[in-house]
Structure 1
């Protein structure tokens, strides 16, 4: 019963209060709140919401407001009402679609599109996007140690394997560490990757975040453990700019 109520849109607190009323009968909010471990104001707010939804009734007796659960059959009525409301809005949206489509082209869709993805899954989503399409090189500022510290070494390795199977080439600027050299030696064939190891630690500021440039996109990944997120910028002009900056950085660091 509780699980079904959650599935049709009731909150856990609403389910808790409704089930308590079914078990205990008509109660004032103060008594009910003690039985369900909620403060009185929270219990009262939930009860008022359930009254509006039609599954709880209230009445006053000797100046005190009492609440009771209505017959559970009224839950079906609540679902039916919600279904009719959703069907109405669905019909309204269908009617509005031609008008919405007519708006396409009135705005400059060449403006950069920026998407934000939170957490480890967000980082993986952004990386997964780069496996779709990507016609030429991946240009990457690659803080490999941060991938390892974030617990993403295996994911990065699997990502690289898929990328190589799809015959996508990597051009990466990487901090020169023993772990980095060993990782690329063991996992990335020379013919499919071009790695520039940066020994000068004063230049390692460019590795605060991971940045990947491919097609018309720039992906920025923040990998500090517990604060991970990804940002995807879709813009031909911005991608071209960062590609030029990458090439200039590559030449400057290679001297």
Structure 2
């Protein structure tokens, strides 16, 4: 892997650009003085010294003193893994507390645009969906849904199968030819009914637990995500009313 690629990956792990450069230089040179690191990195001496101090505080670099001269070396590289494990455990501990603080009666609204946004909205929804629960789809998008999901649909259905999430899908009769296909029939645990509507509605919705996704099926699709128990409950009641009066294929 090239040096710049390694620096980029270290930045993703939380290193600053200077920290990544200094850390790599220390790995390369072994025990060395700050002067050698300045030569190796080309960074200003003040930048190198302040960066080294921070890396020492974070225990990623070990500092020693020989005859009044400071020497530095990178600590065991597994220290990076241990630090990330510590941060992960901290996140696991704090996230439930943050959820308890969050206003339970509030409504969280997010807007996703484009095909990437369409796929992201579905991926997040299925990942957050409780096990053994039903997904309700009103005014299914038919070929538009398949086109926008692309290969992401395989991941979506894989997670859905693992969680045993059934889909109840309501569509207009105008979408029937788009849904009664081999592609749909290969997807397991889907129950479809049709409403006596002979036009294609460019707007649809899905309910995933307490999350409602509203779709606008234009060339550049838009998804509005509403996270609210009350809103989801109202949509499910509306869905069931339509479901009881719809035709099954």
TM-score category, normalised to shorter length: 0.5 to 0.7
Q: Which residue of 2 aligns with 1:243?
A: 236
| Aligned-residue offset at 1:154 | 3.5
Q: Which residue of 2 aligns with 1:31?
A: none
Runs of 5+ unmatched residues, structure 2: 19-40, 55-96
Q: C-alpha distance in 1, partners of 2:185/2:121?
A: 25
| Aligned-residue offset at 1:170 | 0.6
Q: Which residue of 2 aligns with 1:146?
A: 144
Q: Is the 8 A contact 1:135 1:168 kept in 2?
A: yes
Q: Aligned in 2, Cα 1:200/1:209: closer, same or farther, shift over 3 Å?
A: closer
Counterparts of residues 53-132 of structure 1 (less than 5 Å): 73=42, 75=44, 77-78=46-47, 108-128=103-123, 129-131=125-127, 132=129
Q: Which residue of 1 aligns with 2:209?
A: 215
Q: C-alpha distance in 1, partners of 2:179/2:243?
A: 17
Runs of 5+ unmatched residues, structure 1: 11-71, 86-101
Q: C-alpha distance in 1, partners of 2:120/2:169?
A: 20
Q: Which residue of 2 aligns with 1:171?
A: 168
* Cα root mean square deviation, aligned: 4.2
- TM-score normalised over the length of structure 1: 0.52
Q: Secondary structure at the match of 2:109?
A: strand
- TM-score normalised over the length of structure 2: 0.53
Q: C-alpha distance in 2, partners of 1:178/1:169?
A: 22
Q: Deviations over 1:81-128 (max 9, x none)?
A: 68989xxxxxxxxxxxxxxxx999787432112233344333223212
Q: C-alpha distance in 2, partners of 1:106/1:165?
A: 30
Which structure: larger Rg?
1
Q: Aligned in 2, Cα 1:148/1:217: closer, same or farther, shift over 3 Å?
A: closer
Q: C-alpha distance in 2, partners of 1:117/1:194?
A: 27
Count matched residues.
Answer: 176
Q: Aligned in 2, Cα 1:121/1:80: closer, same or farther, shift over 3 Å?
A: farther
